[in-house]
Amino acid sequence: MNNTYDVIVIGSGPGGKSVASSLASKNKKVAVIENDLWGGTCPNKGCDPKKMMVSAVEAQSMAHQMQEKGITATPSINWDDLMRFKKSYTDSVPEKSQQSLVSAGADTFYGTAEFTDEKTVKVNDDTLSAERFIIATGAHPNILDIDGKEHFLTSDDFLSLSDMPETITFIGGGYIAFEFAAIASATGAKVHVIQHDSAPLKQFDQEFVEVVMEQLKSNGVSFHLNTNITKIKKESDSYLLTDDGDFSLKTDLVFGTTGRAPSIDKLNLEKAGVDYDKKGIKVDDYLQTSNPSVYALGDVLSKEQPKLTPVSSLEAGYLTDQFLSGKLNKINYPSIPSIVFTSPKLAKVGVSVEEAESDKNNYKIRELDATDFFTYLRKNEPVSKVKVVIDDEKKQVVGATCINNEADELINYFSILINKKVKIEDLSDIVFAYPSTASDLSYFYR
């Protein structure tokens, strides 16, 4: 079978699915190739099922905070029920995702795409060619290359655990480890997080990271910093973790949470003339690779922007517009929020505190302990802190970091203020519902 298309999209995650559906609905001849679950990581085994599980932690945390404030018991988390709840959403995702592509008019192929030349790919027994390709294959869990690495489980495995063990360990102190640690500890598991240096969640303000760590410690999470695990040994029904010194730890399960790697190793990019590095596929300001017929988007890219689902969707919208309009405009990334769904949540957007401290002529930093703000006081939250970076000349917020249970909502408000360049006088003209997270916004300018 030999087919020629206007566009072939490799990968059916949120970005790939979006651009493919949009182009196909505009009468472009589109093919989509997928070698795993239709719909990609986010809805199947990433942000969506994770957030469903976080919902149970949020409910438990709220009940715990309100002890002796009207609530008399803290609920426990039933892992079986929680997994059934998660599966009630994820089980139907692949079929619905593929069907939505077909309904939009795209052809779908299941298998691994391999470039055979600059304008041709092979999928199983099918050879497909196109004028343009979009690579949207995303990323996969990175496995630390140590003795016993075959014993590592990944984030995919955590989100499919049939039972929560008594002891669980995460090697790597990034956002995945912190989020899963919060979930596991809320179920009653003894949790360990091991980080090779002294700076977990290094992309976030370390003062706030320490606050998150203290809250997680109070829930039974143990952190082992400056610990470089070099060996995992299976011992009966457990695993022994050791370093080159005297550190040792027994655990029921061990998860590798040392980041994610771009899913490019099976694409035969050399035959397509597509350049890449260890961070992913290289693209220009138009998301075009070294092969002018091939574009790329999402987590597979080698880029400075956060590798997040909303960023992939932004890039998909950009490519759709470029392909349909024939325009040649550079992609413009706004300030992008990042969130760690721990308990409490940690979030940031825009100019960091570190950047602001190195340029005090242009920025000033406001630090607020908002624990006594009514928004947080009424729910008896143990901690609520915010750092805001202000362009003093323009009187505009240009960056923010926050830690509280509403950080996911609050950081989105800050994103609007930053990207729309809202000044204090503009904000004062808006009446927000009170009491609410939004009604506090004006306080962060003062």
> pLDDT at residue 446 above 80?
no
State residue 20's pLDDT score: 98
Annotated binding residue 173: yes
State residue 292's pLDDT score: 97
Q: Which domains does the chain have, with CATH numbers?
A: 3-138+263-325 (3.50.50.60), 142-259 (3.50.50.60), 344-445 (3.30.390.30)
Annotated binding residue 277: no
State residue 427's pLDDT score: 87
Annotated binding residue 179: yes
> pLDDT at residue 1 above 60?
no
pLDDT (tens digit, 9 = 90+) per residue, 134-155?
999 999 999 999 999 999 999 9
Mapping DSSP onto H, E and C, the string for the chain reads CEEEEEEEEECCCHHHHHHHHHHHHCCCCEEEEECCCCCCHHHHHCHHHHHHHHHHHHHHHHHHHCECCCECCCCCCCHHHHHHHHHHHHCCHHHHHHHHHHHHCCEEEECCEEEEECCEEEECCEEEEEEEEEECCCEEECCCCCECHHHCECHHHHCCCCCCCCEEEEECCCHHHHHHHHHHHHCCCEEEEECCCCCCCCCCCHHHHHHHHHHHHHCCEEEECCCCCCEEEEECCEEEEECCCCCEEEECEEEECCCEEECCCCCCHHHHCCCEECCEECCCCCCECCCCCEEECHHHECCCCCCCHHHHHHHHHHHHHHHHHCCCCCCCCCCCCEEECCCCEEEEEECCHHHHHCCCCCEEEEEEEHHHCHHHHCCCCCCCEEEEEEECCCCEEEEEEEEECCHHHHHHHHHHHHHCCCEHHHHCCCCCCCCCCHHHHHHHCC
Annotated binding residue 374: no
Annotated binding residue 438: no
Annotated binding residue 177: yes
Annotated binding residue 33: no
Annotated binding residue 299: yes
Annotated binding residue 178: yes
> pLDDT at residue 2 above 70?
no
Residues 198-214, mean pLDDT to the nearest whole number: 95
pTM (two decimals): 0.95
Residues 27-35, mean pLDDT to the nearest whole number: 97
pLDDT (tens digit, 9 = 90+) per residue, 309-348?
999 999 999 999 999 998 889 999 999 999 999 989 999 9
Average pLDDT over the chain, rounded to whole?
95
